[in-house]
Structure 1
Amino acid sequence: MKKNLYLTILLCFSVLHVWAQNQLSGRITDAAENVPLPGVSVLLKGTTTGTTTDADGRFSLATPSSSGTLVVSYIGYFTQEVEIGNRSTVDIAMSADVKSLTEVVVTGYAAQRKKDITGAVTVINTKELTAVPSASVTQMLQGRAAGVTVGNDNSPGGGTMVRIRGFGSINNNSPLYVIDGVPTQGTLNQLNPNDIESMQVLKDASAASIYGARAANGVVIITTKKGKQGDPSITFDFYTGTQRPGKMLDLLNTQELGQYLYQSDLGAGKNPSATSPSVQYKFDENGNQTIADYIYPNVYGELPAGTTYTNDIADPALGKTAFNITKANKEGTDWQDVIFDPAPISNYQIGASGGSKSAKYAISANHFKQDGILRYTKYKRYSVRANTEFTKGKITVGENLTFSYDERQGITNNDEGNPIMFAIRVHPIIPVFDITGGPTALGGTNTSAYNGFAGSRGSNLGNAPNPLARLYREKDNITRGTHVFGNMFAQVDILPGLVARTSFGLEYNQTNRSEYFHRDIEAAESRNANSMNVINNLDRSITWFNTLNYAKTFGVHNFNILLGTEAVKTYFAAFQASRSGFAFDDLDYRYLDAGSAAGLANAGAGAERTALFSQFGKINYGFKELLLADFTLRRDGSSRFSEANRYGIFPAFSVGLRLTELEFMKPTKKVLDDLKLRFGWGKTGNQLIPNVYNAYTLYAPDPQNNAYDINGTGTSIVGGFDLVQFGNNNGKWETNTSTNIGLDAVLLNGKLEFVLDLYNRKTTDMLTQIAIPRTAGTGTIPYTNIGEVSNKGFDIGLNFRDKKGDFYYAAGVNFGHYKNEVIKLNNDPNATIFGFTTRLPAMSASKAGYPIASYYGYFVDGVIKDQAEADAAPKFGSYTREGTFKFRDVNGDGIITAADRTIIGSPHPDFNYGVNLNVGYKAFDLTVFGQGVQGNEIFNYVRYWTDFNVFQGNRSKDMLYNSWKKSGDDAKLPRLNSGDATSQQVSSYFLEDGSYFRVKNVQLTYTLPVKLLKRVKIASAQVYLQGQNLLTFTKYTGLDPDINLRRSGNNNEDKHMGVDEGAYPVSKSYLVGLRFGF
């Protein structure tokens, strides 16, 4: 009985306690602009009870009946303590801390206030960044920061080129990415953009030198979202939409191509009516054409009676054995329309976070899927991230791990061997399918699952394969990747202000690609046997760093001292094997052992290991709010160099003077909130050359060159070793020395912000390869310290925001300019490093006095109008006459030879820029973002195929309609001449203005009323409509002016920049999205 009484009393007190809880709600806004502040921390003082505001700035919190105090905090605003009293509703207006700019940013193993930064650092608005749907964070970075150049290859899951303040080397110019303290120089495709909390770009040596060995090309620091003290919160984000192809090239149809062939033969002095230039066309004396009804076998008129399609027919009436009988498309096949289609894109994101004073967590899951506008190309990614942090007394431990799996299907390069280039080249008379209509899966009747396509097999049809056939047959060639990225850490607060931290980071990437290549019997250069390649890559990096940080204030003097060590080990292994002669094409039989043993080829494997050990220290000093100074010293040792040159020492310093703290500047504070001058100087090192064993001379077995019959019996072959690589024992670090002068200004009570940086960046001891005499041997040429490169420029950032009643607006612009120049190569003014060659000689060259990868060839001064001009023009052999290109005589000897080739242009822009506009009224918000480049040139290699007499295939409208026809014509292109083998030389004709401005993103967002959402227990909700890449303003005639590197690798690819070989074009996207908070 007594026990039951106690239980009853206890229950009554429990009920009374529940009744005593009050539900407090409110809204938090910006005091100056009256706009809601999302993500504000609202904590009941002295307890672990708390929450954060939703997208509309609202919060709800259970509080005790007795009066309490709310502690409200938000980055960039003054922290407030508000008495609750007897109120059930509390609205709070927070004042921005524009004077002290207390936003905390990560700048190198530690964080500091934005106002105290003295180096060149750009803080990226991550809300604006992630508004652009993309698989990669680096793609989103385009146009967001002054001085940062981004080039995309635009394919689903494709790579990017990111360059900060120009190009410091002919080797790797990729920046270092540091994600939650773990360094990487990968593509970042494994990182879910929605997980990003903050991003900073360290652009000069004084800011980046703390990362030493890999910071020569700048550093991008990314911090992911972490749990916060307060009630659990759940977010869900979703968008879906469609992507559509943009601009296409204007090419000839079948009839127009016939006219081109006729006029080209006339121009060569031939008689097309007597000797047809193509068996598909017949011409009478007036140039009227008759097109064949069948292009393979070539038949004019109907097929002979009784002749029908089989897989293999031999009919004497046709004069040959024929496969895949193909009708001529007399109107012309629009091959670009065939391979490009609208495609879907979608993204699903869910996250949860919360915690207490002693434990915090943040977890998320993401699924991203993007089909390409190029048929049978796609990318999808699944990722899961977990971040937890536990504190017990003075010890904090935690981890941040991301697991992801992705699949990429489609083309793997942007060179001339891709389906886009094939669609430009292939003859329009060729239909998509032969008379069977193609495979049954594509609506045809062919008995083979992969045949029934039409192609270039036949006379005068060129060698370009059917691009749709290639895409369809290779649609199951997928690159699969498994990725693990993250770190585990422990931190100890030893004494007040003294903190020790250790962190172990891991990056693990394993990729597998199986490539199966079908026979393509319809192609002129057909694959006569099916084959399969298997490629496996493993890339692993382990990072362990330890730091000791001490912060102390002595009166008006503030000190922050950081000491640390870092050790990095990397391992890369690759395996590749192939076989041919598979009996079946079915997916179930696509493994190497199913192929013919006789078809085994190209089996091989390789591995690379590197190590890096570093010691570093940094001192931050502040005198009041007036004077700021940073001093950094780092010592790096790399296994890529010999023991004598293994270590490099890289110092840096920067100082800042806050002018608004000077007495004579006090009267300006009504307008000028903050004005700071900055100066920085520092050195960073670069070790990233393609050959990780460059220091060593290597020998290897080579049966073709060093297997000898020592005993002369023919049965005693003994293998020896050959020199395969010359080592450079004297190779040492590339050194990048940077000087930066900066100005930061905040005006009009924080409404206007202005940033200006002037910089001079010089690379010395640049490592590169210079040819050696062949008499020295045939081994790989080593990288030697023989070059210097300079980059000079400036960055400007300007942002303004204001509010009038319920209407608010903001605008921003960033602007970056750099001038790149090779100072010297091997102390030889004529030394030249050439770029890649295709069917043309090298199109680019790097030499002293010019930018890296400048275009190299002949200058063309238009088309010779008449005979008088031809007589006066310098002669290019027998080529020069009226209606031909007028090549410039650079050396003045009166004739055109290879000696007249010179630097003809540059892929480097005069400047790049980004523009952002945001307007809002009550619950509606409109954001417009655009970016562009100005003054760069693109080498339009596509013109080699479309504008000149090269391989049989299609041509541009320009070639037919804008070529020279008669004496006196002011023409764009030379006379049509099927015997012309000179006009297509590398020349300035291929160069086009690559300037463009693109409306990158337009988004209209509506925030649903909180009162409505409370009924369904939803904390916040937004719906938005978005358009991406809606408008592009450019004079460039190619598919897209946003040209990436030829390939997205890091090895010497900058030597090939700016060349368009039929690159994947950007798509226009139309999306609808939803965001929910619970």
Structure 2
Amino acid sequence: MNVKLCVLSAGALFFLGQGVSAQKVKKDTIPNATNIEEIVVTGYQKKSKDEVTSAISVVSGKSLSNLSSSTMGTNALQGKAAGVDIAALNGKPGGGSAINIRGLGNITTSVGASNPLFVIDGFIVGNDQRAQDVFNSINPNDYESLSVLKDAAAAAIYGSQGANGVIVLTTKSGKSGKPVITLSSRMGFSDKIKDINFSMMNSAEKINYEKQMYALGIPGYIQWSDQATANALALDHNWQKSILRTSYIESYQVAVRGGNEKSKYTISLGYDSDNGIVENIHAYKRYTGRMKYEASPTDRLSFGSSLGVNYSMSQEIRDRNNTQNPFRAMYDYNSFEPVYRQDGSYNPTRQGFPILEALKNNPENINSLILDGNVFAQYKIIDGLNFKTQLGGYYNNIRRTSKILRGSFLDNVLGINGSVVEQNQNRFRYTNSNTLNYVKSFGNHSFDLLALIEYTEFRNDYISGTGRNFSSPSLSELGNASTPFAIAGYDELYRTFSYGGFLTYDFSKKYILTASIRQDKDSRFGKNNVSSEPFWSLSGAWNVTNEDFAKNSTILSLLKLRASIGTRGYNNINLNLNNILMSGGIYGTFPTIVSNANYGNPDLKWEVTKSQNYGAEFGFLKNRIKGTIDYFIDKKKDFILSIPNFSSEGGAYSTNINAGDLSNKGLEISLSADIIKSANFNWSVRANTSIMSYKLNKLRNGETERIYGINILREGYEPFSFFLVKSAGINPNNGNEVYYTKDGNTTEIYNSNDAVLIDGKSPLPNLFGGFGTSLNYKGFDLQADFTYKSGNYTYNYMALNMLNYSNGTNSNMRSDAANYWTAPGQTNVLPRPSNPTNAPGGITGLQTTDRFLQDASFIRLRNVSIGYTIDKKTIGETLPVNKIRISLTGQNLATWTKFEGDPEVSIGSGENQTGTGQTFINGAFALYSYPAVKTYLFGIELEF
């Protein structure tokens, strides 16, 4: 790879977007072009790019840090790597992501079930949502690079944790030479993106609609007098503008990095704040710090440590399907209903609840402290043989406080004289990894053997207390609650123990073979299956361009062919699925004890993914054009599923079993090209795409299907295909909606039992990726990135609610709700509004059918960044500043979609999907969750 180098005195470290590379130099002057060996970080090891035989995507930290600092790192990765499908859980500042690497990770219906394994500077954090929280606690400004390990050859060494892929983060390290100090600041604002493909009624439209409904005899609608109409029209306003605001974002970071040949250090501190788009709350603040130190006091010994701290404070909103959620209230409230009553109090509106008052007087806060750290030591026993031990862990304290202040509107409704709920949770996980690495070369033959022993322990404790009836009206702490109402708590613990090995054989950097094997023991599985089967992988690569016949090619500059096969495991499951537990309680004044609703399965065993990957890396014209292509097959065996009404126990019990098999197949393509490459002007373009197919191969326990509300698992079809009554459109003669029955006939009487699987329509995309461009002209730079997704469907409950004439008595409506059948012959309209006397079967209102199942494909202009850098040559030697960079960044600037609303949906309604025992299917439906926002940021960075 040809890289243009700058002048340094002791050494050079290069960050190339594809990896990290280094070269020692003896002179101050480095030749203009030097071939530098790229290094890819795989977690346990670092390998030259020529030695890599697996499917790994590498993303530079610089390309991610352009996003808002309050954006989580996982969200910033969206569209950057082929095969990685990422969607923000919702638009809430500080929120996490739903991540699928190479398709649906598994069938478990809970948030975080498909998470990859997260590794930070070699420390294994975990593969659950708690691990993602720790990963996202690191300020993206501290990222050096991210490696995404996608196939078995890369991830099998992680055994039971690697089934859904691995994301390896390398944080910034110090460099030899004079200390470098950087100061950076970004300030800006964000607004909710405008409603896409629909609009709400204004006062005139809604009043006219209500008059029409009244004339049709629809129950609940009132007659409007001329005077009442005039008074209401004078109050017309937009509730979105009353409930929402423009948020203010600010971010500051200071970092010091330096070192010498024996030791390197980095220290950084950061502060981020985003008060959010909802009035009366401050959505998110966080304070971050990171320290990293590495030293080599002798030729044989090296050691290092890193420590990160994150303290965040967030004010929450109710993410639920009623007007306690401001994002439903702003659509439900009629535009002729004022914010305040005449006496100055908040107007509860026809909905009977004043959301702006609740945001003030029903506060909910989450304070979270995360400490993550690791320490390692490496000793060279003999030449080529190194022993390394590493201890890493994290501690996470979460305190959640929910209050209903005394005298608030909700307090008066409940009659409880004030309430407070205090929840405190402590999570602690540590991992000790020990490796013995032997590297030896004999002429053209090189061997690299790594042996591994690893132990992990996780502990979690939780306690919650609820008190009511505040003694003092001005105090809302738990100690002021005179009536104890509820208390709960638990402790959790699991342990894993692993051992394995990794072998690489390299012949002249032309032919590379790798193999790995690992076995795990995990206390979360049944007593009969604590030990996993051995997880293994085999892979090979041929560097064609290292052959003599290809070295002198003026066109082909890179060609490497890869193939791999192997198995990986999955252990991201809840605790005690394997144990038969008892739960205590009280009936009246008598203590009781009953079996837990989850009946433990002592035979529960590991999910296993068997993977094949066939790929190629190529480059032309000295890598001016380069790319990768990979075809993969992932077959998941024995996925875990909760089965209700366990037959041997009956009643309301359920148990978790190994319920079936699943397969994902896909093609990944990444391309980049330097269109113009000169001394003063560079222009490059890039793109990646993933083409996917999914199939549920088999269900066990005598089942062929399992229904989850509007989604279904059925053998032979895409997982979580939609399961709905199909609409046959409108009867043009009478305006009634026509439905297909289960056997294919038609009827005007709705029956939910006529629901069928909608073939080819599920929340899973069959095409996703990103593309972008970068330009540099002298000191100016421009970067633009787009993301896209296609083939995925989302059920639009918001559209159903806002078009349903039955809801219009109390709620505002979409403007197109007035486009209903009025005369014979009309077809492309909504059904005729009916009252119970003339509705088919007496069933009124719009029903849950595939009428509101919408294509959620989209293209989004994710990020645009424009900057100008003033270098030392321009600044001059009199000032101690090395460079100054100013920038302007915009995010979510435009969206193209047919979906009626925001198509980038993950959580539809938090309180309906993310609680214990609830069903979360990523992107299944849209239902008033925190929306995406459009953001503008101005930044300045100084380097001393």
Where do 1:671-820 residues align within 5 Å?
671-690=555-574, 692-704=575-587, 719=592, 721-722=594-595, 724-772=597-645, 776-778=649-651, 780-801=653-674, 802-820=676-694
Does residue 1:1001 correspond to 2:867, yes or no? no
Where do 1:370-769 residues align within 5 Å?
370-375=274-279, 376-393=281-298, 394-411=300-317, 413=319, 416=322, 418-437=325-344, 452-456=345-349, 461-463=350-352, 465-474=353-362, 476-518=363-405, 526-529=413-416, 530-584=418-472, 586=474, 589-597=475-483, 600-648=484-532, 649-662=534-547, 665=550, 669-690=553-574, 692-704=575-587, 719=592, 721-722=594-595, 724-769=597-642
Shift of 1:771: 2.6
AA aligned opposite 2:79: G
AA aligned opposite 1:221: V
**Kept after mapping to 2: 8 A contact 1:168/1:736:** no
Counterpart position of 2:892: 1029
Q: 1:664 to 1:390 in 2, by over 3 A?
A: closer
Shift of 1:1028: 1.7
**Kept after mapping to 2: 8 A contact 1:797/1:815:** yes
Counterpart position of 1:315: none
Shift of 1:343: 1.2
**Kept after mapping to 2: 8 A contact 1:149/1:164:** yes
Counterpart position of 1:215: 162
**Kept after mapping to 2: 8 A contact 1:580/1:595:** yes
Q: How far apart, in 1, do the equivalents of 2:695 and 2:406 lie?
A: 48
Q: How far apart, in 2, do the equivalents of 1:746 and 1:521 lie?
A: 66
Deviates more, 1:332-341 or 1:978-987: 978-987
Q: How far apart, in 1, do the equivalents of 2:903 and 2:473 lie?
A: 36
Shift of 1:567: 0.7
Q: How far apart, in 2, do the equivalents of 1:455 and 1:898 lie?
A: 34
Does residue 1:111 correspond to 2:111, yes or no? no
Shift of 1:346: 1.4
Counterpart position of 1:303: none
Q: 1:513 to 1:558 in 2, by over 3 A?
A: same
Shift of 1:639: 0.3
Does residue 1:186 correspond to 2:118, yes or no? no
Q: TM-score, normalised by structure 1?
A: 0.80
Counterpart position of 1:927: 783
AA aligned opposite 1:455: P
Counterpart position of 2:128: none
Secondary structure of the residue that 2:175 maps to in structure 1?
coil
Q: How far apart, in 1, do the equivalents of 2:472 and 2:798 lie?
A: 37
Q: How far apart, in 2, do the equivalents of 1:1006 and 1:821 lie?
A: 49
Counterpart position of 2:74: 138
Where do 1:892-1041 residues align within 5 Å?
892=744, 895=747, 897-904=751-758, 905-951=761-807, 952-979=809-836, 981-1013=843-875, 1014-1039=877-902, 1041=904
Q: How far apart, in 2, do the equivalents of 1:367 and 1:596 lie?
A: 39
Q: How far apart, in 2, do the equivalents of 1:395 and 1:497 lie?
A: 13
Counterpart position of 1:307: none
Does residue 1:123 correspond to 2:58, yes or no? yes
**Kept after mapping to 2: 8 A contact 1:538/1:572:** yes
Shift of 1:585: 5.0
Shift of 1:894: 5.3
RMSD, aligned CA: 2.8
Q: How far apart, in 1, do the equivalents of 2:632 and 2:909 lie?
A: 29
Shift of 1:616: 1.3
Q: 1:541 to 1:75 in 2, by over 3 A?
A: closer
Secondary structure of the residue that 2:242 maps to in structure 1?
helix
Q: How far apart, in 1, do the equivalents of 2:773 and 2:329 lie?
A: 40
**Kept after mapping to 2: 8 A contact 1:923/1:1008:** yes
Shift of 1:134: 3.8
Q: 1:865 to 1:134 in 2, by over 3 A?
A: farther
**Kept after mapping to 2: 8 A contact 1:520/1:528:** no
**Kept after mapping to 2: 8 A contact 1:799/1:813:** yes
Shift of 1:974: 1.1
How far does the alpha carbon of each residue in 1:895-928 deviate from its partner, in whole angstroms, 9 at most, with x for none? 5644420123311112111112011111111111
| Larger Rg, first or second structure (1 or 2) | 1
Q: How far apart, in 1, do the equivalents of 2:318 and 2:455 lie?
A: 34
Secondary structure of the residue that 1:423 maps to in structure 2?
helix
Does residue 1:277 correspond to 2:221, yes or no? yes
Q: 1:827 to 1:657 in 2, by over 3 A?
A: farther
Shift of 1:931: 1.0
Q: 1:718 to 1:1040 in 2, by over 3 A?
A: closer
Q: How far apart, in 1, do the equivalents of 2:455 and 2:471 lie?
A: 51
AA aligned opposite 2:284: Y
Does residue 1:364 correspond to 2:268, yes or no? yes
Secondary structure of the residue that 2:719 maps to in structure 1?
coil
Counterpart position of 1:163: 100
**Kept after mapping to 1: 8 A contact 2:706/2:713:** yes
Counterpart position of 1:869: none
**Kept after mapping to 2: 8 A contact 1:736/1:761:** yes
Q: How far apart, in 2, do the equivalents of 1:357 and 1:1057 lie?
A: 51
How far does the alpha carbon of each residue in 1:878-909 deviate from its partner, in whole angstroms, 9 at most, with x for none? xxxx2122212341355564442012331111
**Kept after mapping to 2: 8 A contact 1:519/1:528:** no
**Kept after mapping to 2: 8 A contact 1:485/1:507:** yes
Does residue 1:173 correspond to 2:114, yes or no? yes
Q: How far apart, in 2, do the equivalents of 1:739 and 1:53 lie?
A: 33
How far does the alpha carbon of each residue in 1:347-389 deviate from its partner, in whole angstroms, 9 at most, with x for none? 1111111112222211111111112122224211111111112
AA aligned opposite 2:580: T
Counterpart position of 2:242: 338
**Kept after mapping to 2: 8 A contact 1:168/1:790:** no
Counterpart position of 2:192: 245
Q: How far apart, in 2, do the equivalents of 1:79 and 1:847 lie?
A: 59
Q: 1:468 to 1:269 in 2, by over 3 A?
A: closer
Q: How far apart, in 1, do the equivalents of 2:595 and 2:915 lie?
A: 29
Shift of 1:704: 3.5
Alignment coverage as a number of residue pairs: 908
Does residue 1:257 correspond to 2:206, yes or no? yes
Q: How far apart, in 1, do the equivalents of 2:786 and 2:161 lie?
A: 31
How far does the alpha carbon of each residue in 1:21-44 deviate from its partner, in whole angstroms, 9 at most, with x for none? xxxxxxxxx977x6x75xx7531x
Q: How far apart, in 2, do the equivalents of 1:718 and 1:595 lie?
A: 25
Q: TM-score, normalised by structure 2?
A: 0.91
Q: 1:329 to 1:282 in 2, by over 3 A?
A: closer
**Kept after mapping to 1: 8 A contact 2:705/2:712:** no
Q: Percent identity?
A: 28
AA aligned opposite 1:704: Y
Q: 1:788 to 1:502 in 2, by over 3 A?
A: same
Secondary structure of the residue that 2:342 maps to in structure 1?
coil
